[in-house]
Amino acid sequence: MRTQVAIVGAGPAGLMLAHLLWLGGIDSVVLELRGREHVERRVRAGVLEHPTVELLREAGVADRLDREGMPHHGISLRFDGADHRVALTELTGKTITVYGQQEVVKDLIAARVAAGEPLHFEVSGVTVDPATPLITFTDAEGAEQRLECDFIAGCDGSHGVCAPRVDATVHKHEYPFAWLGVLAMAPPSHSELIYAYHERGFALHSMRTPEITRLYLQVAPDQRVEDWSDARIWDELGHRLSADGFTLATGPILEKGITTMRSVVTEPMRQDKLFLAGDAAHIVPPTGAKGMNLAIADVWVLAEALGAYFREGRRDLLDAYSDTCLRRVWRAEHFSWWMTSMLHQAPDADAFARKLQLAQLRYVTTSEPAATSLAENYVGLPLQL
């Protein structure tokens, strides 16, 4: 097999890169370990930044997003028993859109299949040679395959085969808490996302559709899902999301899981002709809703660089890829760390620390410049800083 760009991973990063390359007349092959049904069903992020939505529209894959996505013009920071709204659109002129990551993946897979471009699910035994470059793998039928290419894009996440092939410095930060996330068959209890600061721990009220709610609770990293019955989850959410005039809608819990929180940044995001993108290169805590959006920004930069190479023979954008992406990555890392630190209860936090958090929350929600800073980071900075 021979292609111009071999892409490992059929998540939003890999599929979006493949689509952007196809629009630019550049051949690619996408390899994915899991089956199509698994990829399309796995629940991940659900908040799309303004630049992400605009790019999906420009790429012609936003028809269903525009029909079913839920535009939001603000978020609520809930503390002192009340909501304090950050008016995103009034402060920035932009919106966020609630639309599940798995829905973006479905749309991109449908576009790939409609174009008749190579997309291989259920591959195994993938090995990557960044220097040649070359990928070997076993396809779904059990046949050994050899894929030669000009470049490799590692979009296979933090546990994939590509990241270990990059000789890089890996910066890590572990947070002393985790998120218990649930998907519930219950209508949203509020028209916008609620980030709740509470003495018992952080809580987040989000949604996926007008009928399905996504909710999170701060828990200890060593907690087990089995220790959280549905009744206990709803009881704790009721405590942490309580506010004057607020009623929490409940219903059957469809899914639940615990996610530890960490920050990871790989520098550089490249080894020879292998380029990392998305979670393969960096992880952010979910508080700032940046993970998928950073992945989309990465592959936009990479698609532009590959286009310049194949059309004009230019290498400068490829050589600058890592530095270009990392400017936005580190900005998002800081914003996510700041939101996380402001809203969560650290295990060793004393009264002094909690007073500082409340002082910060009150400042952010009463100062227009401070609220604007939060808003412009939340709706999304330009794809390239």
- Longest Cα–Cα distance of the chain, Å, equals 63
Residue 266, SS3 per DSSP:
strand
272 and 131 Cβ atoms separated by less than 8 Å? yes
> Could you give the CA distance from residue 339 to residue 278 in angstroms, rounded to a whole number?
21
Contacting residues for 133 by C-beta, under 8 A, at least 6 apart: 6, 148, 149, 150, 151, 152, 272, 273, 274
Which tokens go with 98?
């609630």
Taking alpha carbons only, the member of 247, 361, 296, 248 closest to residue 53 is 296
Residues marked active site are found at 72, 195, 286, 290, 378
Which tokens go with 369?
């410049």
Of the chain, the end-to-end C-alpha distance in Å amounts to 37
